[in-house]
Chains A and B, each alone.
Chain A
């Protein structure tokens, strides 16, 4: 075989459902291929690993042309919840796990989960506010040390 990828470090910077899932699928898929994987949650991506938020991740119904819902309609109260429920039902049919369960599974695969120090400082988030699977809150320098020798994917 020719070239192979040995390690990926995936940055999750968005807090919407469609912003978080691709990174989780890529991390989980990397582990399934025997590739080492780390997830680094920064800015609104921290919601995915924040205890009081991770069960309430919503689809962005405004400013999201791919959803094909007019912005004015997407902005109506209840729309994010409605669209999210619709997406979640479709995903459940395909056996795509909900975000909290998916992250727990990814942690079980041996992937590393980390919070971004600068973002945690910005939002006043401490280690205790994050789910137990998170290994630590690390600086950008520590992230690069962790990612050294592998591929970095920004989402």
Chain B
């Protein structure tokens, strides 16, 4: 399995770069994963989404889709795409160290 190194920590990732073990994730890694995804600075609004993703994953075992994020995270769909232009649920999940959310809507 491929690995990635963030802040001196080596983590296992899948082919798309998502952490395979969310417990390996640390807050410090987030900024580095984000910068690799083209997001230079994680603002409090980014963190609201990232923390929400992790909480949802812990509660439900799967990350929310954009539709669910827009309705429940406190960040609108429009703003989600401003914060994460390359796909909010996908990018935020990667930064949050959880698997890519599955779902068609």
Contact = CB atoms under 8 A, between A and B. Distances in A.
Given A1-B15, A105-B67, A34 B104 contact: no
A108 B15 contact: no
A117 interface: no
A3 interface: no
Nearest to A94: B105
Contact of A34 (B76, B78, B86): B86
Nearest to A104: B77
For chain B, the bracket of interface size reads 20 to 34
Contacts of B65: 32
B104 A95 contact: no
Contacts of B78: 108
A105 B86 contact: no
Interface stretch (A23-31, A40-48, A140-148): A23-31
Given A105-B77, A108-B78, A97 B87 contact: no
A69 interface: no
Interface stretch (B19-27, B54-62, B88-96): B88-96
Contacts of B86: 34
A32 B67 CA distance: 9
Contact of B76 (A29, A31, A94, A108): A108
Contact of B87 (A33, A94, A95, A96): A33
